[in-house]
Amino acid sequence: MTINIIIANKHKLFIYLLYVGLSCLFTISLNILHSIYFLKIELTTVSFVTPIFAGLLFGLMLARIKTLSTQLRNIAYTDSLTKIYNRLHFTHFLDAEIDKVKRYGGEFSIIFFDLDHFKEVNDNYGHLTGDDVLIQVTDIVSKANRSADTFARYGGEEFIILAPETGLKGALIHAERLRHDIDKFKFNTAGHITSSFGVAEFNAETDSIETLIERADKALYLAKERGRNRVEKA
């Protein structure tokens, strides 16, 4: 975490220095051209140095705008608590994957899951503990997912995974591994937490985003009805 912060700070410093350098070069060049060729006056120390300070200020403003733009993009795309994709941005990936499979063929599946009796965690230990559980679950799943998988918080204690190039059988195996990892994990305060999974493979002839998620959601609730802490397929 510390290394990531240092790298991020170095990146911000580089952006700032780049904008400052370009701004100074631009303003100095304009000042020289304006003074010598348009105003026909001799450059003085003050008239030469002033644009440098203007460039510093302008570079700072540009760097700040760039930083704010990045922050706003992160807010729009990611969940503020878990730092993974949010529901809205996940649907963009899902829509693109559906379009790809319909155009070129192939397969993919989605894995929909939530935490069993999560309300009791919030009621018994407080919402801060509940947030901590969600963060730890995110870390467990992120470590087990492939780099190609798209992982998002769907809402509350619900999560969803897009598994490209993965049929139903492979998605069921992956979901079972995730269920096992969560089941065996010792959470800081809440102790033992289980999860239920619903898995659905995309059908290019009948599925849309809505029907695919609905089928996975029904499989998830089937897992709930059959005792929780299990994986069911659509």
Give the CATH number of the domain where residue 93 resides.
3.30.70.270
Distance in angstroms (rounded) separating the CA atoms of residues 210 and 94: 11
Q: Are residues 131 and 34 in the same domain?
A: no
pLDDT at 2 over 80: no
Phi, psi (rounded to 5 degrees) for 106: 110, -165
Distance in angstroms (rounded) separating the CA atoms of residues 139 and 145: 10
Question: Containing domain of residue 21, as a range?
Answer: 2-77
Q: Are residues 71 and 98 in the same domain?
A: no
Query: Which of residues 56 and 162 earns the better pLDDT score?
Result: 162
Distance in angstroms (rounded) separating the CA atoms of residues 192 and 153: 21
pLDDT at 6: 41
Q: Three-class SS of residue 160?
A: strand
pLDDT at 61: 75
pLDDT at 4 over 80: no
Q: Are residues 63 and 133 in the same domain?
A: no
CA distances from 146 to 24, 68, 161, 163 (A): 45, 31, 10, 8
Q: Give the count of alpha carbons within 13 A of 218, CB side only.
A: 7
Examine the fold and report which residue of 57, 77, 97 is the final residue of a domain before the chain moves on: 77
14-40: pLDDT as tens digits: 766 676 667 667 766 766 666 666 656
Decide if 205 is catalytic: no
Residue 218 lies in a domain: yes
Residue 204, amino acid: A
Q: Are residues 223 and 119 in the same domain?
A: yes
Q: Are residues 13 and 70 in the same domain?
A: yes
Q: Are residues 60 and 146 in the same domain?
A: no
Residue 109: in which H helix or E strand, if any?
strand 108-115
Catalytic choice (42, 97, 120, 157): 157
Q: Are residues 184 and 137 in the same domain?
A: yes
State how beta strands 231-233 and 195-201 pair: parallel
pLDDT at 234 over 70: yes
Those residues with Cβ within 8 angstroms of residue 23's Cβ, 6 or more apart along the chain or in another chain: 54, 55, 56, 58, 59, 62
Q: What is the mean pLDDT of the chain?
A: 86
pLDDT at 67 over 50: yes
Q: Are residues 73 and 94 in the same domain?
A: no
If pLDDT is split at 50, 70 and 90, which confidence band does 193 have? very high
Q: Are residues 194 and 176 in the same domain?
A: yes
Residue 46 lies in a domain: yes
Q: Are residues 212 and 113 in the same domain?
A: yes
What number is the average pLDDT over the span 140-146?
97
Q: Are residues 132 and 223 in the same domain?
A: yes
Q: Are residues 91 and 72 in the same domain?
A: no
DSSP 152: E
Distance in angstroms (rounded) separating the CA atoms of residues 169 and 73: 36
Contact 13, 66 (CB under 8 A): no
Residue 209 lies in a domain: yes
Residue 82 lies in a domain: no
For the record, the structure tokens of 95 come out as 């829509």
pLDDT at 109: 98
pLDDT at 135 over 70: yes
For the record, the structure tokens of 45 come out as 């120390």
- Range scoring the smallest mean pLDDT among 19-33, 75-89, 131-145, 218-232: 19-33
Residue 53 lies in a domain: yes
Number of domains in the chain: 2
Distance in angstroms (rounded) separating the CA atoms of residues 152 and 213: 13
Among all chains, which residue has been given the structure tokens 């319909």? 102
Examine the fold and report which residue of 27, 53, 77 is the final residue of a domain before the chain moves on: 77
